[in-house]
Chain A
Amino acid sequence: MSNQKLERGLRELYEQDPERADYLVFGRKTETDRRGFLKGAGLTAMMLAVGGAIPFARNMPSGLIPSALADTPEDFTLFGKTGIIIRNDRPVNLETPPPLLDPDVTPIENFFVRNNGGVPEPTADPEAWTLTIDGEVDNPLELTLAQLQSDFETVTLRMHLECGGNGRAGFNPSPRGNQWVIGAVGNGEWTGCRLRDVLQQAGLKSSAVYTGHYGADPHLSGEPGRPALSRGVPIDKALEPHTLLVWSMNGEPLPLIHGGPLRIVASGWPGSCSQKWLTRIWVRDQEHDGPGMTGLSYRMPRNPVPPGAEVPHEDMVVMGPMPVKSVITFPDTLSDVRADEAFEVRGHAWAGEHEVQAMHVSYDFGATWVEAELEPPSNRYDWQRWRARITLPTAGYYEIWARATDDTGVMQPAVVPGWNPRGYGNNSQHRIALNAA
């Protein structure tokens, strides 16, 4: 399925299916009387979009683009996103095309979205949002967002976030899940406090070995109180100074679709460790066993298996840090370039908990490699800018391959790495096609 087919502006969504577009964009559901009943998030979003209250919102027919928006020439978009690939609309899962990953900090409007459940209603009073810390602690805590902001040191860090299933589309046979190609990754500028400081105030017992995270997002089945996802991290990861409780993204209040008003960012691990709409951290005396921790979810085979293997659950282990990886953000694939003329190829590289040590590109299908310039990260977990100047010798079809090497000497493979039942951890080299003339 081509990206083009999925890249749909809101206008197109409305043309295809106005009622679904209503639901997607404004959360408005069609009732049996064929009128959308606007409330909560839907009404708020629509009012924001038209720039004022809609007194007769209840009477507004469903599937109608408010004329304030219909008259504007620009396409308006899902959750304020532009140029994004809609992998799934319920739950909402959005992938960033590589050229939009070019900035050092990924803009919010282009940042990928991974949801396992629904999107909760926005909170009327973010400062009163409450986080519970309990379990293997001496003093269980209930802290409001306002307390987190005032009682703990605030830090801002640039850190990448990547979905554990980024690259899943490359595996064969096809594993279950959203068929992410390469853009379920982004680099945000996150502001918050250290989870470590909060856990220390609660006082970790010696029995504390793992965290269990809970969020306010509803399960897709609609069953009340059922978590859509509840993952966690080993206590050492939770105590790392870069693991944050985040309330701001790129200098703005954390947007609802990114887990606002409060989320974890545990960079270098599968994105699902960075719980959105965070309400509770249950400190565990064992590996957490919430939804997303057991069975085949976010787990890899303990030993390598052949493609398509049926792996018994007891032979699966929880995924650890993400592998070394890079993306070519310029030029876009299928671009035209001039033969015998130097041009820049650039992108970003990251390496789970490691730093990227070297970056190479090839334009002859991996036969020879050119070393790229590689910038250091601004802080640990920031992705690293790389640039190379290359000259294609003749007219014709070329591929640019990009290969990052981490500080332990581990490289990205040219082909898709070990198959696993749910398709995690594909860090094969990003390739783009160029036509030289």
Chain B
Amino acid sequence: MRGRTTLRTGLTWACLGLMMAGGASGQTSDFGGLPPGPGQLETFGNCTACHSTMIITQQNFSRRTWDEVLTWMVEDQGMWEMPAETRQIVLDYLVTHFGPE
């Protein structure tokens, strides 16, 4: 449990560091257009290492599909595995803001 907390804290700091440093493509000022809300930071920090937010903001998925996408990113696309707690925060954020229309 302690290890998980440390990992999560580490990841959060990594996100902050990434943003303060300008991010991979400099999407700093507005979280790449991700709407504000719980999970904005975690989503930006975990997803935009490889791709921009534009592929996120185009989508309207059910919880099941977003869940599959997150799994696919790890299993097929070389994404790191998020701590379970962070994954839940990201999943909730994606469903809240980019859920089915």
B37 CB to closest chain A CB (Å) equals 19
- Chain B, interface size category, equals 20 to 34
Q: Are B52 and A89 in contact (CB under 8 A)?
A: yes
Q: Are A90 and B22 in contact (CB under 8 A)?
A: no
Q: Are B54 and A87 in contact (CB under 8 A)?
A: yes
User: Which chain B residues border A90 with CB–CB below 8 Å?
Assistant: 25, 51-52, 54
Q: Are B25 and A88 in contact (CB under 8 A)?
A: no
Q: Are A174 and B25 in contact (CB under 8 A)?
A: no
Rounded to whole angstroms, the CA-CA distance of A408 and B41 in the bound complex is 54
Interface of B, helix, strand, loop or mixed by DSSP: loop
Q: Are B78 and A19 in contact (CB under 8 A)?
A: no
Rounded to whole angstroms, the CA-CA distance of A86 and B52 in the bound complex is 12
Q: Are B21 and A63 in contact (CB under 8 A)?
A: no
Q: Are B100 and A174 in contact (CB under 8 A)?
A: yes
Which residues of B, 12-59, contact A by the 8 Å Cβ criterion?
21-30, 32, 50-52, 54-55, 57-59
Interface of A, helix, strand, loop or mixed by DSSP: loop
Q: Are A19 and B28 in contact (CB under 8 A)?
A: yes
Q: Are B55 and A88 in contact (CB under 8 A)?
A: yes
Q: Are A88 and B58 in contact (CB under 8 A)?
A: yes
Q: Are A20 and B65 in contact (CB under 8 A)?
A: no
Q: Are A17 and B30 in contact (CB under 8 A)?
A: yes
Q: Are B51 and A220 in contact (CB under 8 A)?
A: yes
Rounded to whole angstroms, the CA-CA distance of A89 and B24 in the bound complex is 13
Rounded to whole angstroms, the CA-CA distance of A174 and B60 in the bound complex is 6
B77 contacts partner chain A, Cβ-Cβ < 8 Å: yes
Rounded to whole angstroms, the CA-CA distance of A174 and B98 in the bound complex is 11
Q: Are A32 and B22 in contact (CB under 8 A)?
A: yes
A68 contacts partner chain B, Cβ-Cβ < 8 Å: no
User: Which chain A residues border B59 with CB–CB below 8 Å?
Assistant: 174, 176, 179
B30 CB to closest chain A CB (Å) equals 7
B22, closest chain A residue (CB): A30
User: Which chain B residues border A219 with CB–CB below 8 Å?
Assistant: 77-78
Rounded to whole angstroms, the CA-CA distance of A222 and B60 in the bound complex is 27
A149 contacts partner chain B, Cβ-Cβ < 8 Å: no
A168, closest chain B residue (CB): B58
Rounded to whole angstroms, the CA-CA distance of A22 and B27 in the bound complex is 11
A residues engaging B (CB < 8 A)? 1, 17-20, 22-24, 29-32, 34, 62-63, 86-91, 173-174, 176, 178-179, 219-223, 226, 291, 295, 308, 310
- Give 4 closest A-B pairs by Cβ, nearest first: A19-B26, A221-B78, A30-B22, A90-B52
